[in-house]
Structure 1
């Protein structure tokens, strides 16, 4: 996030949430199950 002073002349960044990224699961988002059933060669993303 950003913190601004009252005059809006200065800002400072601050951490809102520290996220943990597990590769490869969080590198790719999951597809809806019905989307992966249209074509046999179109699998779900890894880890989902």
Structure 2
């Protein structure tokens, strides 16, 4: 089989971390915009 030894935690995951950070940022902004939109709609229709 493979002669190389894998060491746990040795893989470069910088790209995955940047992707995850972008996803969390997008979800956070989406939630904030949705909440503000619902508040605005409630005030207008109030």
Same fold judged by TM-score > 0.5? no
Flag the structure with more relative contact order, 1 or 2, with Cα contacts below 8 A and sequence separation at least 6: 1
Q: TM-score, normalised by structure 1?
A: 0.21
Structure with the higher fraction of residues in strand conformation: 1
User: What TM-score does the superposition give when structure 2 sets the normalisation length?
Assistant: 0.22
Q: Which has the higher helix share?
A: 2
Structure number with greater Rg is: 2
